[in-house]
Structure 1
Amino acid sequence: MGWGTDSEIAAYEAMIAQFEEAYPDVEVEYIVVADNEFDTKLQTMIGAGECPDVFYCNIDKMMKYAATGNLYDLTEYVENNEIFSPDNVWSCLNDLYRYDGETQGQGSIYALPKDVSAFPIFYNVDLFEAAGVTPPTAEDPWDWNDFLEAAKKLTTGEGDNKIYGTGAYSLESAVWSNGAEWLDPTLTEVKITDPAFTEALQWCADLSLVHGVAPTPAESSALSDYDRFKQGKLAMVGAGTWSLADFWENCDFEWNVMNWPVSPNTGESAIWFGSAGLAVSSTTKAPEAACNLAAYLAFNEDAQRTAYQMGQAIPMLKDMATGEFAEMDKYPADKQVLFDMLENNARLATQSRTFNQEWFNEFNSNTAAVFNGEMSAQEYCASINDTVQQLLDESIEQKAEYANS
């Protein structure tokens, strides 16, 4: 059971057909559920004793499902099968779905990665050339000031003909590259009032509020940054590599990718990477077939080739990614940017490392006040800090309760 866009569904139908050909004694029923209904549906099926043998496992939910005994421990299967070489898989994935009852990233393996997604800045090459903007390179990266100057040059027109230089800037990239974090290294203390954090948040908001190079929140509600980019009305947008198939089909202009700028304060760049897992139910009546299916979809060369050729994901096998995927005659031209991000800049989102995400949801609950100019970033973070800390404390307590139950 999984979720996904039409292109993802088509890719997984093809990959499952390949698995059934490789394992002719196994028949797979593929269930698709809307992503915003998936967790509720899965919990209902678990409660009814009808859990799918293999299912997508959101990294944010992995610890909870493992702690409640709903995930099959894949450690022995992985150790006894040559399903992948750790040296040939992006290092950010190797321990991602481990959990020892205390820390995500350590202990037993409870899922295999179904994909890895880089989150670069996609840019409209035609608009860059028209504005005389030269994109950054790995050797000569932009900092925030360079990004802003480029966005100003790329912002043109009025009304329906308005073209904005950029969409919303990744707050994770701004915060992390500025040397700040949501939580301290022990994941027990909220750090959102750190001046480096509030500076990053304010800088993101000021792209629209002060500089007018990004759509206002109201404009983005009426037409998303993503769709605005596809229509040629936005020069730069942050998006995941799951967008490749959509952009191939629906962008009638040349586009490419770049890394996120470095902070002028640190000279560092950072961004999150995305992944969902393929978990096996602890109650499956066919553990070997279920494990084989998860492993096939995650690491089989034929399946990985199908996934990237259909624009679903970057191969998780590095030699395939840097080889045939890199040489594929489709945008983006600078695929090396994606590899550099995964190897050097990609970080797991902070909230994915905590037992639940209610503290993070609370932080996000009214950041619109900053982006609409009703509060400064400093005022907002100070106003919500204690509530976020309380929810984080409750998350820590909940993890301890599950561990002891």
Structure 2
Amino acid sequence: MRKSRLTAGIVAALAVAGTAACSSGGSSSSDDTLTFMFRGGEDEKAAYQEAIDRFTEDTGVEVKMIVTSADQYAQKLQAAVAGNKVPDVFYIETASLQSYVSSGVLMDITDKVAEQGADLDNIWEYGLDSYRFDGSVQGTSEGRLYGLPKDIGPFAFGYNADMLEKAGIERPDPDEPLTWDEWLKICQKLTQDTDGDGEVDQWGTGLNVQWNSQAFVWSNGGDWTNEDFTEVTVDTPEFAEAIQFIADLTNEHGVTPNPEQSQTLDTYQRFMAGEIGFFPVGPWDMSVYNELDFEYDLLPWPVGKTGEPATWIGTLGIGVSNTTAMPDEAVQLATYLSTDETAQETLVDASIQIPNRIDTAEKWAAEATEEGVKPKNRQEFLDIAEDYGRAGSSSYTYGGEWYDELWVGIQPVIDGDKPAAEYLAEVQPRMQELLDQANAQAEQAAAAAAAAS
């Protein structure tokens, strides 16, 4: 599961198109075959094929898979909704859930999931609650279920264990997080000219401010909004200090590739090439990282002023069309893919996610002691899921345009041409205006849905 979100424009278009789909009762299924639309590569496709073949064998229900690449999924799903050909079962993102519910695209599956007898107490609470909505608030245990987690995505921090060993640096403690200063000193030791040509060719780290800033901001006591998502709070000293620290890794300390070096080879590729010491690791990376020529492992994210690690945790969901011709079978398929032990083991064995089932996840983490298993510290994924992982504010607002605005003009900060505090003071009013618009849209959609019912 890659970190991504539908833009506000796409969400709005889906809402309009979804209203038409709801009113006309369209579905892409035939009388005896379900359609399941998802995104992923060959590993994910093969794993789902194996799981669905077993589902068909057990239930007699045929399933047609519709697979897209990650960057095409939102557009193709939008076209399916607009064309009144909503797949029976399909991937959903938390940022689009409210609009899908308001427009009638998603089915309320609460009662039908209960009829399946699934042990929801054995599913990560964060994953379940992300798809609950009570008509005004998303993400609380009191809401109705409009989807089930396909997975949860704890965004962990990884390191090249071979690089640290070669530099004479002990492996980090898997339980005790490094402070920013402690981590920076290790990055400085790792940053080297290894071939003696006068150019640095090995770096301590290589972070992307858009995808990696959450861990630093939250651990330093900052956040994007207040608790009820009504006020943008990026213009605080805690937030600015975290963003400045990330920028200084390149401009002041030189422990990351500079922009010119990143254009030659981005930091993701450099980590896989063994040129970067510390880099984020999501469960979706394991199938690739497990084939690397060096050993990698996980550690807690470095900590700021709070002294407590923090990181983003995401989730991708499986929803059911409100207009499916086979509602019972569609909910059965969604429940099977999300909660069945054998189905989960099939997906986990493909190294594309961690288990949704808590008992399966604990077993999976314990297996890391076996020879050849990577990463050894699988428990870090579970610690994030249980303890210090947090959903981004934009996961529970009506679209994420307000959040995206932060990154539009941040490059001068990353290049060292503008202080983070100055930029954040400038961008906060623009973000606030967009958040106000999103909240107003949410209220309008809720009112329209209430009137229609």
Which interval holds the TM-score relative to the shorter structure?
over 0.9
Kindly indicate whether the alpha-carbon contact (under 8 Å) linking 2:177 and 2:299 is maintained by their aligned counterparts in 1: no
Which residue among 91, 94, 97 is the counterpart of 2:125? 91
Match of 1:71 in 2: 106
SS of the equivalent of 2:158 reads: strand
Which residue among 77, 84, 94 is the counterpart of 1:49? 84
After superposition, where does 1:292-307 map in structure 2 within 5 Å?
Answer: 292-307=332-347
2-structure distance, mates of 1:42, 1:319: 33
Query: In structure 2, what residue type is equivalent to 1:253?
Result: F
Match of 2:30 in 1: none
Which residue among 418, 423, 442 is the counterpart of 1:380? 423
How far did 1:223 drift? 1.9
SS of the equivalent of 2:314 reads: coil
Kindly indicate whether the alpha-carbon contact (under 8 Å) linking 1:217 and 1:371 is maintained by their aligned counterparts in 2: no
Which residue among 157, 162, 173 is the counterpart of 2:201? 162
1-structure distance, mates of 2:244, 2:47: 40
After superposition, where does 1:1-400 map in structure 2 within 5 Å?
Answer: 1-23=37-59, 25-86=60-121, 88-106=122-140, 107-157=143-193, 162-168=201-207, 170-249=212-291, 251-263=292-304, 265-328=305-368, 329=370, 330-400=373-443
How far did 1:224 drift? 2.2
Kindly indicate whether the alpha-carbon contact (under 8 Å) linking 1:308 and 1:325 is maintained by their aligned counterparts in 2: no
Q: Deviations for 1:172-220, whole angstroms, at most 9, x for unmatched residues?
A: 0011111111111121111111110001110111111110111223433
SS of the equivalent of 1:55 reads: strand
How far did 1:40 drift? 2.3
Q: TM-score, normalised by structure 2?
A: 0.85
2-structure distance, mates of 1:159, 1:19: 59
SS of the equivalent of 1:32 reads: strand
SS of the equivalent of 1:35 reads: coil
2-structure distance, mates of 1:213, 1:131: 15
SS of the equivalent of 1:28 reads: strand
Task: Report the aligned-residue RMSD.
Answer: 1.6
1-structure distance, mates of 2:198, 2:116: 59
Kindly indicate whether the alpha-carbon contact (under 8 Å) linking 2:271 and 2:279 is maintained by their aligned counterparts in 1: yes
2-structure distance, mates of 1:222, 1:404: 51
Which 5+ residue runs of structure 2 have no aligned equivalent? 1-36, 449-453
The alignment covers a number of residue pairs equal to 401
How far did 1:226 drift? 1.6
What percentage of residue pairs aligned between the two structures are identical? 37
Q: Deviations for 1:136-177, whole angstroms, at most 9, x for unmatched residues?
A: 325432011111011111111167770111110620001111
1-structure distance, mates of 2:379, 2:192: 30
Query: In structure 2, what residue type is equivalent to 1:377?
Result: A
SS of the equivalent of 1:56 reads: strand
Kindly indicate whether the alpha-carbon contact (under 8 Å) linking 1:128 and 1:235 is maintained by their aligned counterparts in 2: yes
SS of the equivalent of 1:303 reads: helix
Q: Deviations for 1:232-275, whole angstroms, at most 9, x for unmatched residues?
A: 011111121111011122x1111111110121x21111101121
How far did 1:3 drift? 0.7
Kindly indicate whether the alpha-carbon contact (under 8 Å) linking 2:158 and 2:298 is maintained by their aligned counterparts in 1: yes
Kindly indicate whether the alpha-carbon contact (under 8 Å) linking 1:208 and 1:216 is maintained by their aligned counterparts in 2: yes
Q: Deviations for 1:323-382, whole angstroms, at most 9, x for unmatched residues?
A: 145315410111112211111111111111111100111111122121111211011111
Q: TM-score, normalised by structure 1?
A: 0.95
Which 5+ residue runs of structure 1 have no aligned equivalent? none
Distance 1:159 1:69, change over 3 A: farther
Kindly indicate whether the alpha-carbon contact (under 8 Å) linking 1:120 and 1:240 is maintained by their aligned counterparts in 2: yes
2-structure distance, mates of 1:9, 1:229: 26
1-structure distance, mates of 2:436, 2:296: 44
Query: In structure 2, what residue type is equivalent to 1:67?
Result: S
Kindly indicate whether the alpha-carbon contact (under 8 Å) linking 1:69 and 1:282 is maintained by their aligned counterparts in 2: yes
Distance 1:213 1:373, change over 3 A: same
Distance 1:209 1:133, change over 3 A: same
Distance 1:314 1:98, change over 3 A: same
More strand by share: 2
